[in-house]
Copies of this chain bind each other. A is one copy, B any other.
Amino acid sequence: MNRLCLHTMTTKPWSLEDCARHYPKAGVTGITVWRQHLNGHDPKKAQTMLQDAGLEIVSYCRGGFFPAKTATGLQEAIDDNLRVIEEAHALGAPLIVLVCGAVPGQDLATSRQQIADGIDAILPSAQQANIKLAIEPLHPMYADDRSAISTMQQANQLIDSLGSPSHLGIALDVYHVWWDDALESQIILTGNKDRLFAFHICDWKTPTTDLLNDRGLMGEGCIPIRQISDWVDATSFTGHREVEIFSHRYWAEDQNVYLNQIAASYHKLYDNSL
């Protein structure tokens, strides 16, 4: 069985029902459900629908966004993350991706402390529900308002600082960290600490015309995806490879055509290593 998983956000125009109907036809075996795609659904019924379609629920996206200018704001973020854990539990998702957050103009060190405090506050609930939390380091171009955690090293240091608790690890997205000369060594370290929890793929286009929504299909850009995948496979990670593409261009396409493009680019990249 292949390890191809899609984020519902990759085919943003589709409903969760569309995803359940179409993904399997292209050989997709895993699905990462975004909160906005679960919205309006009964999570238990959604779980049944996805499982009946032959899709493994890989992750729930997304929690995080802890930093805030006030203590009230931080508490609201913690409360919201506790709801995310409840939703993931009801859906049967074993993992939540954390986009940690940042506040423009707030000192990054302050934001990082709030992120640590926020994770510390929600972790017991995640552990009790047996749901893993995966910190996703985001590209430094998102350090203004999306994540004060920009590198694998920062994510590892944060987890270390919390005492390396169970159920807390890292989601590695090639788009965010491909440029980092410490990437290979950090993947090895993360694997050795049994905290490499998720692996996201897409590509970096030249030129990139939008900071958020111009990601490329695998093979369309400059990221050495296969090299990074091989580093990941050299750890004990055996999970899905999750295709997470935000793209105004691809969202405007016929999503069935696009789905076949995704599957083709995946197989071109991995067909000698299913």
Q: Which residue numbers of A lie inside 8 Å of B, CB to CB? A: 104-105, 107-109, 112, 139-141, 143-145, 150, 154, 178-181, 204, 206-209, 211, 221-222, 224
| Given A140-B140, A143-B179, A181-B154, A211-B222 contact (CB < 8 Å) | no
Contact A179 B208 (CB under 8 A): no
- Which of these, B108, B180, B211, contacts A211 with CB under 8 Å? B211
Q: Find A105's partner among B140, B180, B222 (CB 8 Å cutoff).
A: B222
Question: Min CB distance, A222 to chain B, in Å?
Answer: 4
**Chain B residues positioned under 8 Å from A179 (CB to CB):** 108, 140, 143, 150
Which single member of B144, B180, B221 contacts A206 (CB below 8 Å)? Answer: B144
Give the complex CA separation of A143 and B211 in angstroms: 14
A107 and B224 within 8 A (CB): yes
- Cα A222 to Cα B144 in complex, Å, equals 7
* Alpha-carbon distance A208/B143, docked complex (angstroms): 12
C-alpha spacing A150/B224, complex, angstroms: 17
Closest CB of chain B to A233's CB: distance in Å?
19
In the complex, what residues of B have CB within 8 A of residue A141's CB? 139-141, 208, 211
With both chains docked as a complex, state the minimum distance between the C-beta of A228 and any C-beta of chain B, in angstroms: 12
Q: Which of B112, B140, B206, B211 contacts A145 (CB 8 A)?
A: B206
Which of B109, B207, B211, B224 touches A208 (beta carbons < 8 Å)? B211
Known A-B contacts A179-B108, A181-B154; A144 and B221 likewise in contact (beta carbons under 8 Å): yes
Besides A140-B140, A140-B179, 14 other A-B contacts (C-beta < 8 A): A104-B206, A105-B222, A109-B181, A139-B140, A140-B180, A144-B204, A144-B208, A144-B222, A145-B207, A150-B179, A150-B181, A154-B181, A208-B211, A211-B211
With a cutoff of 8 Å between Cβ atoms, the chain B residues found around residue A207 in the complex are 145, 211
Report the separation of the CA atoms of residues A141 and B207 in the bound assembly, to the nearest whole angstrom: 10
Q: List 21 A-B contacts (CB under 8 A).
A: A104-B206, A104-B222, A107-B224, A109-B181, A112-B181, A140-B140, A140-B179, A140-B180, A141-B211, A144-B204, A144-B206, A144-B208, A144-B221, A144-B222, A145-B207, A145-B222, A150-B179, A150-B180, A154-B181, A208-B211, A211-B211
